[in-house]
Amino acid sequence: MSLFDFPDGREGYYGPYGGTFLPEILSSTIEELRACFAECKRDPAFWQEYVELMESYSGRPTPITFLENLSNHLGGARIFVKREDLNHTGSHKINNVMGQGLVCRRLGKTRVIAETGAGQHGYATATMAARFGFRCRIYMGAVDVARQRPNVFWMERLGAEVVPVTDGQQTLKDAINEALRDWVTHMDDTHYVLGTACGPHPFPEMVSYFQSIIGREARTQMLAAVGRLPDRVYACVGGGSNAIGIFQGFLDDPEVELIACEAGGRGPGRGNHAARIAYGDASVGVAQGMKTFFLQDEHGNMWPTHSIAAGLDYIGVNPILVHLWEEGRVRFDAATDDQVREALRLVMRTEGLIPALESTHAFAVAIAEAPKLGTDEVILVNCSGRGDKDIFTIAEALDDEGWRHFIRDKARSYGA
C-alpha cells in the first residue's frame, strides 16, 4: 500500500502529521493545486513527459558509483553513491522544480515564487522559470544571501529577482513566511514552488512524488550492479526531500534499512544544531502550513538553528519521514559539523568526489557505520548535491588560511 493512499480518509495526513494549515484566503488556491496535481498523478503520460524532460534537460538517469577506495580504506561494507550531484544546477532540487514547472503550466499561471536557504532551490527555480518562460521572485534570508553569494549571482543572471529577508533569524524559515505572504497577495497568477517535502498538503506528497525518481532509478541500478538490494540507504535530511526521494525506491523492502541523517551542528542543546529527531530536542507543533516536529520552546517560539550546511539549517521536518520514524521504518541519526569536515576530507582524497556539505552528513554517518559491517554488505549513500557552491564555507571550515584570503579577495572583486 502506498503512503499516499490515505486509507483513513484523512488526505494529506501521515499518522497525525501533515495536513493543510493555511490562512482561509489561500484555500481556493491550495484546492486548485491539489486537484491539478491529483490529475497529473492519475495521468501516465504526465510521468512520462516528466521523465523525458529530466533525461533531456538534467542528464537523468544519474549514475550510481562504487566507492572502491573508500570502501577498502574503511574495511567494511561496500559503499555505493547515487549521483544526484550530476544533475543540472548541481543537486536533486531540479527534480522537484521541473515537475512543479509542468504543474504550473497546467494551472495556467505565469509567475513563480520560491524560498531558498542554501540557494540551491532558488537557483534551480530560476533555471526552471527561464526555461518555461515564467516570471520569478526568490525570497532568501539575508544571512543566507551573504553566505551563498555565487547562487545569488546566478539566480539574478537567470532573470530572477532575489529579495533578501531581514525578519527573524534571516534564514530559511523567515524566507518561507515571506513567500507565503507574497502568495496570499498574488494567488491569481502565481504558483509557489516550495523547495522541500514540507509545508501544507499537497506539497509534501507532490515534492515526494517528483523526488521518487531518485529511488526508482537507484533500485533498478543497484539490482543491475550488485544483483541485490542494498542493506542500508543513507540520505541527509533538511526538509527531507532527497531522503524521501531515495527511500521511496525501498519502502516496500523491509530488509533495506533507511537512515535519515540530520545536522548535528555543534552537538545537542538549544541553538547548536538542526537535528529535530536524532537529538530528541524537538516537539510537535503547527507552523508553516503543516503539523510536524519543530525545534521550539514550550510556547511555540522557534529555536535558532545551526549547521555548517545552510541547506540543512531548518526548524521543521518532513511529516512523512516523522511518520515513518514512528512506524519504525526509518532510523534517524545526526552528524556534527566536525564529523562532516572529516568525512568531506576523506571522500575528496580517496574518491575525487566533492559532495555538498549537506550530502556529506549522509556520508559521515555511513563512514561511521561502514567499518562495523561485513565486506559482503552493501550500502548506498545519496549524494544530494555537489560541493562547488560551498567553496567559501569549505575553505573556512577546513581552515585553509591562504585560500580563504584568496577567495575573499575574488569574491569582493565580483561584487560580494
Ligand X SMILES: *Cc1c(COP(=O)(O)O)cnc(C)c1O
State the residues that interact with ligand X by CB under 6 A.
Answer: 91, 93, 118, 120-121, 196, 236-243, 311-312, 356, 358-359, 384-385
Q: Cell numbers at residue 18, please?
A: 501533515
Looking at 58, 71, 91, 93, which residue is catalytic?
93
Q: Which is nearer to ligand X, 184 or 391 (CB)?
A: 391
Establish whether 115 is a catalytic residue. Answer: yes
Q: Which is nearer to ligand X, 207 or 346 (CB)?
A: 207
Looking at 58, 91, 109, 115, which residue is catalytic?
115
Q: Cell numbers at residue 133, please?
A: 518562460
Establish whether 307 is a catalytic residue. Answer: no
Check if the beta carbon of residue 409 is closer than 8 Å to that of residue 262.
no
CB of residue 243 to ligand X, shortest distance in Å: 6
Q: Which is nearer to ligand X, 22 or 246 (CB)?
A: 246
CB of residue 224 to ligand X, shortest distance in Å: 25
CB of residue 141 to ligand X, shortest distance in Å: 14
Please give the C-alpha separations between residue 377 and each of 224, 232, 320, 365, in angstroms, as whole numbers. Answer: 16, 9, 28, 16
Strands 13-14 and 64-66: unpaired
- Nearest residue relative to ligand X (C-beta): 385
How far is CA 413 from its chain centroid? 31
The residue written with cell numbers 580504506 in the block is 73
CB of residue 343 to ligand X, shortest distance in Å: 14
CB of residue 7 to ligand X, shortest distance in Å: 26
Q: Which is nearer to ligand X, 84 or 351 (CB)?
A: 84
Q: Which is nearer to ligand X, 241 or 272 (CB)?
A: 241
CB of residue 376 to ligand X, shortest distance in Å: 30
Q: Which is nearer to ligand X, 249 or 385 (CB)?
A: 385
Q: Which is nearer to ligand X, 76 or 178 (CB)?
A: 178
Nearest to 97, CA basis, from 67, 64, 123, 63: 123
Establish whether 93 is a catalytic residue. Answer: yes
CB of residue 196 to ligand X, shortest distance in Å: 3
Residues with catalytic roles: 93, 115, 384
